[in-house]
Amino acid sequence: MNPVQQNHYDVLVIGGGPAGTTIASLLAEKGRSVCLLEKAHHPRFHIGESLLPMNLPILKKLGVLDQVDAIGIKKYAAEFNSTDTLLAQDTFYFAKATTPGHPFAYQVRRSEFDEILFKNCKKKGVVAIEGMTVIGTDLKDSVKKIHAQDEQGKRHEFSARYLIDASGRDTVLAQQLNSKHKNPKHKMAAIYGHFNNVERRTGKDAGNISIYWFKHGWIWLIPLKDGITSIGCVCWPDYLKSRTMPLAEFLQQTLELIPEVRERIRHAQLEGKAQATGNYSYQSNTMSGDGFLLIGDAYAFVDPVFSSGVYLAMQSATKGADLVDQLLENNTPHKSLISQFESSVAEEINAFCWFIYRFNSPALHKLLMSSDEAAQHPIKQKLKSAVISVLAGDAYNNTKIRLPLRAFKFLYLINKLAEFKKNHAFNHFRKQQNQT
């Protein structure tokens, strides 16, 4: 292997997932010389298969929407199921969002999705190298350096005017800068696998994600195009620590705790291995510095519940491409551009955080899953539409949803006070789990 001819570029990108390939493609389109280093080889497995409607404009901008349509299955809604609310099931259709421009998203196998994005960035002129692991960086001088190692153990050095870390959960720069910290407000872990023969919803609902609350956390069912369903359980640490059997057996046993899930998987079999991801919620104290930027999971990851990870990764990459291009142009003051970028990325993450931190709380269950009759009230409909906009990834700068979201949060508070004991007990439990 000798793909490394020229080693100095305008921009170096660490990681060829959704964030890295998006920023690399967009910067190459702007005429920048870009080199991307990926430690694995595509296609490779990755968790994170359910996309959001607001991914679609980014996929269109990248020119890959048709290819994603070919490998994906359309997801028109997110379906929530609970055993302890008046309404056992409610489906949140994206078409009912406050600004309903994007009525569906896609469920994708990430091996296929990421390969499309990777090939696309190569097509746009990015020097994208697989099997090249970044082992260190040098950020001191104006020229930024990357030290990497190929699969034969040979060392390589790359340099650029700007360095982007899109290394996902490996958080290459945050580790080096010692800026990564666990999220003190959220501590969950997940076990998951791919299953065949899982019962699906019918018609237009066949591609919807199903979410089931249960006493140990919540469960996702994500139908994929080839008949496989991705199933995962996101659980409190104490429950996962109680495991005394092999992971696959524990996954099956956990799924069977919910009667409806048990019914849907009665003919199903696990294909491949069951997998686990320990406490996954973290953030870096630093999003950028002199000549470098952290995007996607390399900066922060909170929780999979609203399928926001890939969207947030690609959205921070899209904004990051504009920022880096302007910084390289060097004709605008740096600080204001960087702080605008940082606050917009943080705002998008925070829009999801409010719901994520409360997702398992009885007050939010009750509010999301009220009875059919109550849900028909026009004001309730308006609030639900605003929540759907957030779930679609359309919260940033969306002034239309501000007021209804405030009202929704106020109602949440009332619900919490109305059942103070129950909610207080839950908060106590959550805090205790966060400290384990």
Ligand X SMILES: Cc1cc2nc3c(=O)[nH]c(=O)nc-3n(C[C@H](O)[C@H](O)[C@H](O)COP(=O)(O)OP(=O)(O)OC[C@H]3O[C@@H](n4cnc5c(N)ncnc54)[C@H](O)[C@@H]3O)c2cc1C
Footprint of ligand X (CB under 6 A):
14-20, 37-40, 46-51, 133-134, 166-170, 172, 190, 192, 232, 277, 280, 296-298, 301, 304, 307-311, 313
Is residue 66 classed as helix, strand or coil in its secondary structure? helix
Query: Of 132 and 363, which has the nearer Cβ to ligand X?
Result: 132
Q: State the nearest-atom distance from the C-beta of 31 to ligand X, in Å.
A: 23
Measured CA to CA in angstroms, residue 163 lies from 67, 108, 127, 315 at distances of: 29, 29, 14, 18
Query: Of 276 and 411, which has the nearer Cβ to ligand X?
Result: 276
Rounded Cα–Cα distance for residues 301 and 181 (Å): 11
Judge residue 246's burial from the number of C-beta atoms within 10 Å of its C-beta, 0-12 exposed, 13-18 middle, 19 or more buried.
exposed
Is residue 182 classed as helix, strand or coil in its secondary structure? strand
Query: Of 17 and 320, which has the nearer Cβ to ligand X?
Result: 17
Query: Of 91 and 149, which has the nearer Cβ to ligand X?
Result: 149
Q: State the nearest-atom distance from the C-beta of 97 to ligand X, in Å.
A: 17
- Enumerate the β-bridge partners of residue 8: 159
Scored b (16 or more CB within 10 A) or e, 50-74 reads bbbbbbbbbbebbebbebbeebbbe
Query: Of 39 and 358, which has the nearer Cβ to ligand X?
Result: 39
Rounded Cα–Cα distance for residues 91 and 249 (Å): 30
Q: State the nearest-atom distance from the C-beta of 191 to ligand X, in Å.
A: 9
Q: State the nearest-atom distance from the C-beta of 118 to ligand X, in Å.
A: 9
Q: Which of 246, 230, 237 is nearest to 189 (CA)?
A: 237
Q: State the nearest-atom distance from the C-beta of 333 to ligand X, in Å.
A: 28
Rounded Cα–Cα distance for residues 436 and 432 (Å): 7
Rounded Cα–Cα distance for residues 17 and 172 (Å): 14
Q: State the nearest-atom distance from the C-beta of 378 to ligand X, in Å.
A: 32
Residue positions counted in the chain: 436
Q: State the nearest-atom distance from the C-beta of 42 to ligand X, in Å.
A: 8
Q: Parallel, antiparallel, or unpaired: how do β-strands 288-289 and 229-235 relate?
A: unpaired
Rounded Cα–Cα distance for residues 45 and 358 (Å): 30
Q: Which of 58, 73, 72, 47 is nearest to 21 (CA)?
A: 58
Q: State the nearest-atom distance from the C-beta of 258 to ligand X, in Å.
A: 18
Scored b (16 or more CB within 10 A) or e, 316-340 reads bbbbbbebbbbbbeeeeeeeeebee
Query: Of 14 and 68, which has the nearer Cβ to ligand X?
Result: 14
Q: State the nearest-atom distance from the C-beta of 48 to ligand X, in Å.
A: 3
Q: State the nearest-atom distance from the C-beta of 15 to ligand X, in Å.
A: 3
Query: Of 93 and 192, which has the nearer Cβ to ligand X?
Result: 192
Query: Of 117 and 367, which has the nearer Cβ to ligand X?
Result: 117
Query: Of 192 and 412, which has the nearer Cβ to ligand X?
Result: 192
Phi then psi for residue 310, to 5 deg, are -70, -40
The terminus-to-terminus CA distance of the chain in angstroms comes to: 46
Rounded Cα–Cα distance for residues 76 and 56 (Å): 13
Q: State the nearest-atom distance from the C-beta of 407 to ligand X, in Å.
A: 28
Query: Of 213 and 311, which has the nearer Cβ to ligand X?
Result: 311
Measured CA to CA in angstroms, residue 40 lies from 14, 17, 147, 188, 289 at distances of: 12, 10, 16, 27, 27
Query: Of 133 and 427, which has the nearer Cβ to ligand X?
Result: 133
Q: State the nearest-atom distance from the C-beta of 133 to ligand X, in Å.
A: 4
Q: How far out from the chain centre does Cα 236 lie?
A: 19
Find out whether the peptide bond into 43 is cis, omega within 30 degrees of 0.
yes
